[in-house]
């Protein structure tokens, strides 16, 4: 959706802001939740969460954008998967990291839980 809202010149900054916001919420969310649980009784927590979800839905629905022809292109999930595999094969760094983590996962995953300190 972001490429449909922003121009190419704004896309890098938009992605940066989006990722920064995601990471901030990922860290701040549990802190805010814990503070709410400590300061507000449980009977008010669920209405607060429901209100936040309703406000979020309204804000998201208020975003106006036009779908361009690239976004409207439909592919099968299999074609999307093959396209992703081809991209990973072309990108050496991603391919190397995926191989490393796959090997590590299968090596560590096959060991007993008690012996996983060596992974």
**Does residue 62 share a domain with residue 4?**
yes
pTM: 0.46
Task: Share the mean pLDDT of the chain.
Answer: 81
Closest CA to 73 of 4, 15, 10: 4
Per-residue pLDDT tens over the stretch 2-22: 777 778 888 888 889 989 999
**Does residue 96 share a domain with residue 56?**
no
**Does residue 31 share a domain with residue 89?**
no
**Does residue 95 share a domain with residue 41?**
no
**Does residue 97 share a domain with residue 66?**
no
For the chain, state the CA radius of gyration.
21
CB-based contacts of 63: which residues, under 8 Å, 6+ apart? 1, 5
**Does residue 67 share a domain with residue 42?**
yes
Residue 68 near residue 6, CB atoms below 8 Å: no
Given a cut of 70, is residue 117 above it in pLDDT?
A: no
Domain span holding position 56: 1-73
Q: How far apart are CA 77 and CA 35, in angstroms?
A: 42
**Does residue 102 share a domain with residue 64?**
no
Total count of domains within the chain: 2
Q: How far apart are CA 53 and CA 48, in angstroms?
A: 9
**Does residue 60 share a domain with residue 4?**
yes
Given a cut of 90, is residue 55 above it in pLDDT?
A: yes
**Does residue 83 share a domain with residue 61?**
no
**Does residue 59 share a domain with residue 87?**
no
CB-based contacts of 97: which residues, under 8 Å, 6+ apart? none
Banded model confidence at residue 114, pLDDT cuts 50, 70, 90:
low
3-state SS assignment for residue 7: coil
Two tokens at 20? 């920064």
Banded model confidence at residue 113, pLDDT cuts 50, 70, 90:
low
**Does residue 119 share a domain with residue 86?**
yes
């Amino acid at each position: 959706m972001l490429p449909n809202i922003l121009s190419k010149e704004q896309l890098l900054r938009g992605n940066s802001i989006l990722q920064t916001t995601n990471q901030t919420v990922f860290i701040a969310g549990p802190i805010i939740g814990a503070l709410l649980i400590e300061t507000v009784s449980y009977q008010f927590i669920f209405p607060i969460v429901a209100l936040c979800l309703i406000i979020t839905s309204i804000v998201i629905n208020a975003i106006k954008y036009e779908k361009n022809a690239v976004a409207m292109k439909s592919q099968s999930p299999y074609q999307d998967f093959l396209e992703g595999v081809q991209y990973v094969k072309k990108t050496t760094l991603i391919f190397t990291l995926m191989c490393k983590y796959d090997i590590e996962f299968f090596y560590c995953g096959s060991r007993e839980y008690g012996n996983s300190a060596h992974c």
